[in-house]
Amino acid sequence: MGYWSRRRCCAPIGLSIFNSRHTFMGCGKGIPKAEEIVRIIEGLQMNSIVPADGEHVAIVEREKEELDSLNRFMKRVGEQDERAIVLALAAFIEDTLGGLLIAYFRDCKATRDLVNGFNAPLGTLSSRIKAAFAFGLSTEDQFKDLEILRKIRNNFAHDWEGVSLQRNDIAAMIGQLSGYTFDGKVAPSGGKERLLSSLSNCCVELYLFKERIESNKASKAPDVSHRLTTTPPTERGRTRYVN
């Protein structure tokens, strides 16, 4: 079983990033097709998790090799115009968080209805960001970064002109991103580079987190459900997890 950070975990789904639910304005021909993305993601075979310290989880050597595919995808996203970059990152995060919640919760119809059903309570980017943080699946820094992405996404989705990463209000939000990097190097100071650096790392972390839960390298949600009884227990309690 993996060792997970309380503050920062290397996390972040059957990807349907570019499907009928997401239309990207001005994406250009460089955006990979859905089938290509699925092939990239399905090629990731997770290895065992190596603890780095009390607050972080190391990416094992085999994962470093496999992450090259995700990095190539993120690089191709970064080559697009600003609107396409923002909408693509938001779509990736929305789908990844949905898969992470499904992987973590009990495997049942109630979970699927909660996340993906008609008028699902956890069917939006906003609700999934909040749910992941509330259930301890994302760190405070990740939560704040994703909330900033959501607000920037709304600006690009709802305004058809005059929207730019250089606009004062959007540039200020980008400046508030955590700037977290896997190797501890200083993140870019602003603009598209800081947005891509911070949010690409979140994409990778959350996606790997989901994959590790699905491959039993990280725990599902603890099962704390119980019934009351007047009969004294005959054995000590133990930690249970949903299935």
CB neighbour burial string for 29-49, b if at least 16 within 10 angstroms, e if fewer: eebbeeeebeebbeebebbeb
State how far the Cα of 91 lies from the Cα of 238, in Å rounded to an integer: 39
pLDDT the model gives residue 152: 96
Residue with tokens 């250089």: 166
Q: What are the 10-residue block averages of pLDDT along the chain, 243 residues in total?
A: 36 34 38 43 42 57 64 79 91 94 95 92 96 96 97 90 90 94 84 90 90 88 88 82 88
CA distances for 161 relative to 86, 91, 152, 164, 169, angstroms: 15, 21, 14, 9, 15
Q: Quick one: which of 215, 205, 213 has its CA closest to 104?
A: 213
Degrees, nearest 5: CA angle 181-185-188: 75
pLDDT the model gives residue 12: 33
State the architecture of 34-214 in CATH terms. Answer: Up-down Bundle (1.20)
pLDDT the model gives residue 115: 96
pLDDT the model gives residue 126: 97
What value does the CA radius of gyration of the chain take, rounded to a whole number of Å? 19
Task: Say what the pTM is.
Answer: 0.74
State how far the Cα of 203 lies from the Cα of 221, in Å rounded to an integer: 21
Contacts with 177 (C-beta within 8 Å, 6 or more apart), sequence order: 145, 148, 187, 194, 195, 198, 199
Q: Residue 204: what are its φ and ψ, rounded to 5°?
A: -65, -45
pLDDT the model gives residue 160: 73
pLDDT the model gives residue 188: 86
Contacts with 74 (C-beta within 8 Å, 6 or more apart), sequence order: 196, 200, 203, 204
Domain edges within the chain: 34-214
